[in-house]
Amino acid sequence: MMGKKARPSACDGGQGVDLISELGDDLLLRVISLLPDALDLAGLATLSRRWRDLSTRSPTLHLHPVYRTGKDEDDETLKRFNASAHRFNDFIDAVLQRRVCSVDTLHMDVLRWPGGARVNLWLRRAMELVVKSLHLSISLPLWSDQIPKDCKVRLPRCTRAAEMLLDLDYAILRLPAVVEFNALTDLSLRVISLSRGDGRRLGRLLSSTCCPRLQKLELFYVCGLRELQLDARALETLTLYELADLRRLDLDTPRLSSLEVGSSVLRRDPSNFTIRAPALEQLQCSLMPYPREIEI
């Protein structure tokens, strides 16, 4: 009795040959890098051991959770979402722990605060691994009585990343005494809080002694920054937006060509502002809603 003919798989070209496994590692890694999310990568890794081994070497990792729609959400739906958010945090743990080599791009969105110790571990590991682009965005609970007491993130002292974005949803960013960001050219700090005394330290850490190649800097909704003294020889583009606590600004930026400032900065006493930017070509000001209070 003749047995049934085996059905050819989708990847064997109908000839019983696994064409995907015949491809070189470089090409397969290129395929992996085009996946929109690391969850897709995890699914792909279940197909074979080779895919699983390659998944730890992908040059690009995008860790994005499933977002809530905000429509027709009952208690059971919210319960499932919270469970999913916790599982996603466990998934981030596994991805960073299994990583055996550097990664070009790592972008992480975290919807559920995982605890200060865990976030510090993630950020330290990410800044060790990434050589090009690192984005970390973390959300805190909406209600103040739900915000955990450990909403503090410690900035590591070293990174190989060339571009970095930190969006901490007003969690406190703890700054070290010195940093060595020798490769960093593009930095964005968004929606963060600084501890007392760290506002003055921030300017020192962003200056040329610690960030010698920094060309683009964005400070967006940074609380606790009362004074910014910046000596940045390579800086070309600077954005200062909604720095409500800023009282004193001192910029020594010989290569700065583009400066964008928000109305909260412009409304301060101009006698406390010193800007040395001989190469400045573009000045963009967010004047509204107080255009009559501004003098240039």
Identify the pLDDT of residue 155: 97
Identify the pLDDT of residue 174: 95
Identify the pLDDT of residue 76: 72
CB 222 within 8 A of CB 201: no
CB 53 within 8 A of CB 46: no
The CA distance from 296 to 212, in Å, is 30
The CA distance from 158 to 154, in Å, is 12
Considering 41-45, 92-96, 207-211, the range whose residues carry the highest mean pLDDT is 207-211
Identify the pLDDT of residue 270: 74
Q: What DSSP character marks residue 207?
A: S
The CA distance from 94 to 36, in Å, is 18
Identify the pLDDT of residue 204: 94
The residue with greater pLDDT, 114 or 183, is 183
Identify the pLDDT of residue 203: 95
Q: pLDDT exceeding 70 applies to what percent of the chain?
A: 70
- If residue 89 lies in a helix (H) or strand (E), which one and from where to where? helix 75-98
Quote the Cα angle for 199-119-203, to 5°.
20
- As a whole number, the mean pLDDT across the chain is 80
Beta strand 273-276 pairing with 248-252: parallel
Number of helical H runs and strand E runs in the chain: 7, 14
The CA distance from 204 to 129, in Å, is 25
- Average pLDDT on 188-216 reads 94
Identify the pLDDT of residue 35: 58
- If residue 166 lies in a helix (H) or strand (E), which one and from where to where? strand 163-167
pLDDT band at 1 (very low <50, low <70, confident <90, very high): very low
Identify the pLDDT of residue 12: 47
Q: Does a cis peptide bond (omega within 30 degrees of 0) precede residue 289?
A: yes
The CA distance from 251 to 276, in Å, is 6
Burial letters for 86-96: b for 16+ Cβ neighbours within 10 Å, e otherwise?
eebbeebeebb
Tokens of 135: 């984005």
Does the pLDDT value for residue 71 go beyond 60?
no
pLDDT band at 134 (very low <50, low <70, confident <90, very high): very high
Helix axes 38-45, 75-98, angle to 10 degrees: 70
Does the pLDDT value for residue 295 go beyond 80?
no
Model confidence pLDDT, tens digit, residues 135-173: 999 988 765 555 677 889 999 999 999 999 999 999 999
CB 245 within 8 A of CB 224: yes
pLDDT band at 44 (very low <50, low <70, confident <90, very high): low
Tokens of 86: 């916790």
The CA distance from 91 to 86, in Å, is 9
How far apart are the two ends of the chain, measured CA to CA in Å? Answer: 93
**For the chain, what is the radius of gyration of the CA atoms?**
24
- If residue 79 lies in a helix (H) or strand (E), which one and from where to where? helix 75-98
Q: Does a cis peptide bond (omega within 30 degrees of 0) precede residue 212?
A: no
Identify the pLDDT of residue 70: 55
CB 242 within 8 A of CB 262: yes
Say whether 280 sits in a helix, a strand or coil: coil
Model confidence pLDDT, tens digit, residues 229-281: 999 999 999 999 989 899 899 999 999 999 998 877 766 777 888 999 999 99
- Average pLDDT on 101-118 reads 90
